């Protein structure tokens, strides 16, 4: 498995990005402002993450996605750890991430990778998404904000 920066002339793997964020409008806004990295095997993209500078010395991991057939094999953790190392190498002091209250697996993963919960943006997904989102039998309403000092 190789993780590399997505080249400027390459097409974004939109189907992967939309797995993690169902709003094409929001995805298109941040991919143009951030740096995208892909995980590939045998020239096939199986995962992606996007780092978006938000404030001085702070970067946010705004999208992290793994192809459905490659989930559960540790690729998500590999991508999160790569994002942390990349942020450190770029000189950032803090990395942040947000996920839905219903994203139980992601909340566990991010905490295992050193993130701490720092806040909740109540009704974020109600305000910013037209269609209701359900995961694990739970309505996704609130954005759980996590952060890690680098």
CB 3 within 8 A of CB 109: no
Please report the pLDDT score of residue 23 as a whole number.
86
The answer to whether the CB of 4 falls within 8 A of the CB of 50 is no
Give SS3 for 136: coil
CATH topology of domain 2-149: Aminopeptidase (3.40.630)
What integer pLDDT is reported at residue 50 of this predicted model?
A: 96
What percent of the chain lies above the pLDDT cut of 90?
84
Q: For the chain, which residues make up each domain, given as ranges? A: 2-149
Tokens of 145: 């904000």
Using the predicted structure, report yes or no on whether residue 8 has a pLDDT greater than 90: no
Average pLDDT, stretch 26-55?
94
Question: Which pLDDT band holds residue 129 (cuts at 50, 70, 90)?
Answer: confident
Q: Average per-residue pLDDT in the chain?
A: 94
Instruction: Using the predicted structure, report yes or no on whether residue 86 has a pLDDT greater than 90.
Output: yes
Q: Region 98-116: what's the mean pLDDT?
A: 95
CA distance 34 to 42: 25
């Amino acid at each position: 498995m190789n993780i590399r920066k997505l080249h400027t002339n390459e097409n974004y793997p939109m189907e992967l990005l939309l797995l993690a964020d169902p709003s094409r409008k929001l995805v298109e806004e941040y991919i143009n402002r951030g740096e995208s990295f892909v995980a590939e095997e045998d020239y096939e993209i199986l995962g992606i993450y996007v780092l978006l500078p938000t404030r001085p010395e702070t970067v946010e991991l705004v999208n992290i996605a793994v192809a459905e057939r490659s989930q559960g094999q540790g690729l998500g953790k590999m991508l999160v750890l790569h994002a942390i190392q990349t942020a450190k190498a770029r000189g950032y002091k803090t990395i942040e991430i947000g996920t839905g209250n219903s994203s139980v697996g992601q909340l566990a993963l991010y905490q295992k990778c050193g993130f701490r919960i720092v806040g909740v943006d109540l009704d974020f997904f109600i305000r910013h998404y037209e269609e209701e989102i359900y995961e694990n039998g739970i309505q996704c309403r609130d954005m759980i904000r996590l952060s890690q000092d680098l």
